[in-house]
Each structure stands twice: as C-alpha cells, then as structure tokens.
Amino acid sequence: MQEPKHEMVTSIGEESCKDYSHDEKQLEETSTGTSSVTAQCVEQYLKGWSLHLVSLSACLCLFLVNVEVSVVGTSLITIVRELHGVDQMGWVITGYLITYTGMIIIWAKLSDIFGRKYTAIATLFLFTAFSGACGAAQSMNELIIGRVFQGIGAAGCWSLALTIGYEMVPRERYPIFGAHVPAGAATMLLLFLTLPSNFPHQGDPGYNAPTWQERLSRRSLARLDVAGAFLLLGGTMFLVAVLLEGGISIAWNSAVAIILFVLSGVMWALFLGNEWFFTKYKRTLEPIFPWRFVHNRAWMGTLIFSFLSGIPYNVLIINIPQRFQDVGGESPMTSAVRLIPFNLLISFTCVIVNVVVGRTGIACIWFLLSGSIAQLVGLSWFCALPTDGTIPSTIYACQIFTGLGIGCVLGITMLMPPLVVEKRDLAISSGALLQFRALGGVLGLSVTTTAFNSYLKSHLSHIFGNISTSEMLTSVQASRQFPRKEQLDIIKTTSEAYNLQMKILIAFAAAQTIVVAMIYRRGHQIRVVETISVSPAAITTARKSSDSVSERPAYQHMGLYRSCLSFNQNEKGQGKRMTEKMDGSSKISIDTLSIEQLANLGESSQSV
C-alpha cells in the first residue's frame, strides 16, 4: 500500500496532551466503544437556523455586556451628580467588578452540572432584571445594589456565550464564529427556543439528558466544588475591594486595607491548595481550576496574556471619555461618540484576525506579538498628547493603534482555549480566561487610579489644600468654574496625570511581548487547522496490531506521523492526544476511530 504524503501541523499544546486524564477504566470503555464502525463516532454540531439563531443569541449576550461598560464609562459623572453621590462614585464600578470578577468561572462550572441552556437563561435573566433596576434607581444605594447583582449576571453572560460558541461548531470553524464576538429579553427567548436542552450532546444518540431531579440530586451536587467557589469568590471580592477603593475611601496604610489584603492572600492560598488536593485525590468532586492547568505551559501563558491584555482596555474605556470631559470640556454624549474609533477598531480587528487565522493557518503567536507591539505604539503616542487643555485629532490615531492591538490580542486569546486544553475543560477554561482578564482590568484600574489621584493631590495642593480624594476629584470635574489662572493649572495637571496613566500601561503592554515566550515552541506553533483526532485507545490498538501488518507501526500505514501521534504510556495508561492536517486538503474531524476505521482512513486519506 502506498503511503500518502502529509503536512504536519500541531494544533494542540504538548503540555495539555501530557495531562490527558483518562484512567485505565475510561481507556477500556473508549476502546470498547470504538470497536465497530459507526457514524456515532463523528461529533454532531448545530446546523441551519438553530446555528444562526444561537450564534445571534451569543453575540447579543456579549454585546449587552460590552455596551454596559461603555455606557457607564461615559455617563458615570452625570449619573452620580444627579443622584447626589459623588463621594460614592467609585462603588458604582467597584460593586459591579467585585461580583463580575468573582463569578465568571463559577458560572462556567455550574453550566457543566446543570446544562448550558438553563444556566445561560438564568444569567441573562439576572443581568436584564438588574439592569432595569439600575435604570430605575432613585438613590446611590439602590444603584450600587443593582450594580452588584448586575455584575453576577454579566459574568455568566460572558462565560456562557463564549462556551456555547466553542461547542456549537467544529474547531476549524472557531475563527468564523469568533469574528462575531464584538458584535435581554429577546436573547433569552432565542436561547430558549433554539438551543437544544441537551446541548452540546444533541448529536449523541447514546446520551440521556438528566432530569431536573437528577441534576439536583445529592450525587450531582457532589460534583460542585463548593469550598473552591467560596474561596475564589471571597479572595476575589476582598482583593477587588481594596484595590479599587484603596487611596480613595480606604487608606492604603489603614487597618481595613491590611486586613483585606491578608484575608485575600489567605483565601487565594487555600483556594490553590484546595484545587491541587481535589485534582489529585478526589474523583467525584470537579475542581473549578484543575491543577493540570498549571502544568500546561501554553495555557498558563494564554491566561497571563489575557490578564495583561485586560489592563489597557479597562483603563482606556474610562480614561478616554473622562479625558474629553475633564480636559476638553466635552459633554458625556460627545465623549461617548469620541470613544467610537477605539471600540470600533477592537471589534474590526477581532473579525479580521479570526478570518485570517482560519483561512491562512498562520500561527497564533505572531498575532499576539503584533498586537502587543501595536499597543506599545498607541500607548506611547497617548503619552505625547499636549497638556495645554487642547485635545488634538491625533488622539484618534492613538485610539486606532491601541484598538488594533487590543483587538488582535483579544481575538486570539479567545480562540486559544480549545486549542490548548482538553475538551472536558472547555467551559472552565473559557471562564478562567475571562476571569484572568477581569482581574487584570481591576489591577490596572487600581494602579492607574492610585497614580492619577496621588499626582493630582501632590501637584494641586496649593489650590485645593488638604481635602479628601473624593472632594478633590469633584473639584477637578468642576474646574471650569474656577478663575482662569487656576482653571488652566488644574487642566494642565489633569492632562499630565492622564499621560502618567498611559506610561504605566506601556509597562503592562511591554510585559505582553515577554509572555509570548510561554506560548512559543520550537518547530510547530499553535494554529487553527481542520484536524483528525485519534484517541489513545485507538492508537494503542494500532500499535498492538503493527507486528501482524508489517515492520512499520500500523499508524504509519494510516498516514500518521509517529512523532505526532506519540503515545505517552505511564502507570495509569494516560496518553497524549495530538492532531494532524493531512496532505493540505485531506481534512476530517473525528473523536474516536476503530482500527478498521484508521486503516480505511490511511488508504483513502488523499481523497477525504
């Protein structure tokens, strides 16, 4: 039999393969399940109108959450003035981010247990209901409470929309649907009517969807990592609270700040210990952050990249409109319009990057590096903006370069989870990706806000005297009411403080170029290709039969390179799972194949 030629492209990280967690019993079941040639081996995905409507629903989820960020960033000053709560302005953002950053990965894990459809509807209901509550708020306390619960729903909207997007199409089509990422009640209705109740198992005839009684049974609830969820939520809430309110309503050297830092550190340490223990010794309980993530270098690099890339976006989405208001004297509505180029370029770049990655197969790492460099250019240009109270048109060029860079990195990092983690970790990996991004945004806001406030206090003390930070910020926003000389001095100092924030962001953007090294690998980079996936059990069977076929291993007769489909056997029977692109145009997507199917594939691979 003539051996076909193939072009090998690795699309699953080597580190993730090492932790392919099938124990001996699971391998036996997999081997048994693939002993016959059936069409059931091929995964089924959404098609037709169901696919388009679910895609639209996921886009609307992400659109609603992203629009909320822009709306609050541009109208926050006006809102707090009307509700007479300038001194509580920080808690409008802090309350939202505390629950948002703490709940992302928890919602992802809940969807594993209770199902994607009903969990997604629940998150949309929370977000929609409390968005309405925020709009109807008559006091600052009502607004802050509404924002806290709105953050809970927003976390689920992001997490579930991303997970559903990963599971509704094959891997090679991720870039196509990833391009829709930037793009309430109607969304809930669409999801309810179009998303199958047993999604993503709708194509598996052997899958029996659990009833609600089974989902709420003791056995099902035993899978919940309650301790991990509590520690993660608590550690995140304490950290976010002290980072965002430190230096404003909480002094950095106060007992409250120290206690919050200590509590957060202890809870994070306990969380990591909890995840390590249950990953290694427990079978029923499913950890929120499996310890195998830590051993996956490409995935940890992706998480750190997501963390760093969240910093410039969250800072700029607030910095740009407030600069137009405080320095340029623009209205909130005009400031929102001035922010459009930034958001538009992020969305546009996400689309272009996903299309290019999907069609050309260019390695993801080069887009991450290019995006980081574009951010450096844009942020450096921001630092050169004048401080005389004018805002030149070059600020739009700054927005364009920075938006291109952020969009490029955002599009690729959201594409990475299915390429570097196991399928069973898809939901929690997407949640972890978003949670790291949110935590990065909180850290960036904390550092830049502290630097901004400290700069103003030290340089405007001759005008404002010894007043609180909240009172100083209120006075800065009313700078147009001061005498001309003092007004110019306030505007100049405020412009310098905004430029200082950009200098801090440059350091975080530069760190992204270093983290690229964690994702880089010699020889074969991570990229998106249409693939053939072979289970370890099938490869083992092929190896056992190789002596009876010829001198060469059976999987080489099937047209698969030995170096790619290496089977890392150990005492637990665990193995590597690798993927291939065969002969440029020979493409197939199969989870498990029997030895007969593998042989047939080898003989017909040039015409598949």
User: What pLDDT score was predicted for residue 134?
Assistant: 83
> How confident is the model over 286-309, as pLDDT tens digits?
777 888 888 888 888 888 888 898
Q: Which whole number is the average pLDDT over 193-221?
A: 55
Q: Residues 310, 426: one domain?
A: yes
- Higher pLDDT residue, 15 or 471? 471
Question: What's the mean pLDDT in 141-159?
Answer: 84
- Structural domain ending residue among the three candidates 471, 492, 519: 519
Residues 372 and 515 in one domain: yes
364 plus 302 within the same structural domain: yes
Do 361 and 481 sit in the same domain of this protein?
yes
* Distance between CA atoms of residues 317 and 112, nearest Å: 32
- Would residue 553 count as lying in a domain? yes
The answer to whether position 454 is within a domain reads: yes
Say what the pLDDT of residue 506 is: 93
Task: State how far the alpha carbon of 303 is from the alpha carbons of 112, 231, 399, 486, 517, in Å.
Answer: 21, 20, 25, 46, 13
**In this structure, what token pair is assigned to residue 503?**
């200098």
pLDDT at 49: 67
How many structural domains are present in the chain? 2
* pLDDT score of 211: 59
Q: What percent of the chain has pLDDT over 70?
A: 63
**Taking residues 314-333, what's their average pLDDT?**
83
Q: What pLDDT shows up at residue 500?
A: 92
Flag whether pLDDT at 377 surpasses 60: yes
Residues 422, 554, single domain; the answer is no
- When pLDDT is averaged across residues 336-341 and rounded to a whole number, the result is 81
pLDDT in the model for residue 5? 38
CA dihedral 171, 177, 182, 186 (to 10 degrees): -120
If one compares 297 and 102, the residue with the highest pLDDT of the two is 297
- Look at residue 73 in the predicted model and tell me its pLDDT: 65
Give 360's pLDDT tier (boundaries 50, 70, 90). confident
Considering only residues 200 and 339, tell me which one the structure prediction assigns the higher pLDDT. 339
Instruction: Mean pLDDT check: name the lowest of 61-65, 227-231, 501-505.
Output: 61-65
Q: Which residue has the higher pLDDT, 431 or 223?
A: 431
For the cut 60, the answer to whether the pLDDT of residue 150 exceeds it is yes
Q: Is residue 130 part of a domain?
A: no
Lowest mean pLDDT across 137-146, 417-426, 441-450: 417-426
Question: What pLDDT shows up at residue 45?
Answer: 58
Residue 333 has which token pair?
């509505």
Residue 258: phi and psi, rounded to 5, are -65, -45
Q: What is the CATH number of the domain that holds 334?
A: 1.20.1250.20
pLDDT at 429: 78
pLDDT of residue 537: 53
Q: Does some domain include residue 552? A: yes
Residues 567 and 502 in one domain: no
Q: Which residue has the higher pLDDT, 219 or 365?
A: 365
DSSP state of 231: H
pLDDT band, very low/low/confident/very high, at 86 (cuts 50, 70, 90): low
**318 shares a domain with 463:** yes
pLDDT digits 0-9 by tens, 8-59: 333 333 333 333 333 333 333 333 333 333 333 344 555 666 676 777 777 7
pLDDT band at 262 (very low <50, low <70, confident <90, very high): very high
Are 483 and 566 within one domain? no
Task: List, in order, residues 6 or more apart from 61 with CB less than 8 Å away.
Answer: 120, 124, 157, 158, 160, 161, 187
For 540-557, how does the pLDDT look when each residue is reduced to its tens digit (9 = 90+)? 555 555 444 333 333 333
pLDDT band of 380, cuts 50, 70, 90: very high
For residues 350 and 396, state if they share a domain. Answer: yes
Tell me if the pTM is above 0.85.
no
pLDDT top residue among 174 and 217: 217
Residues 403 and 464: their CA atoms lie apart, in Å, by: 36
| Predicted local distance difference test score (pLDDT) of residue 532 | 46
Residues 506 and 556 occupy one common structural domain: no
Q: Cβ contacts of residue 541 below 8 Å, gap of 6+?
A: 31, 594, 595
Judged against a pLDDT cut of 90, whether residue 127 lies above it is answered with no
Is 279 part of any domain? no
In this predicted structure, the answer to whether residue 581 has a pLDDT above a threshold of 90 is no
Looking at the domain assignment, is residue 342 inside a domain?
A: yes
Q: What are phi and psi of 415, to 5 degrees?
A: -90, -15
Range of the domain at 547: 14-34+535-607
From 493, 519, 545, the end of a domain falls on 519
* pLDDT, the chain, mean: 69
Band of residue 7 on the pLDDT scale cut at 50, 70, 90: very low
Contacts of 119 (CB under 8 A, 6+ apart): 107, 110, 111, 156, 160
Task: Specify the pLDDT at position 12.
Answer: 36
Q: Are residues 539 and 515 in the same domain?
A: no
Highest mean pLDDT among 97-111, 114-128, 361-375, 533-547 belongs to 361-375
Q: Is residue 432 part of a domain?
A: yes
Weakest-pLDDT range from 27-31, 105-109, 174-178: 27-31
Residue 261 falls within a domain, yes or no? no
Q: Indicate if 557 and 415 belong to the same structural domain.
A: no
The proportion of the chain whose per-residue pLDDT surpasses 90, expressed as a percent, equals: 6
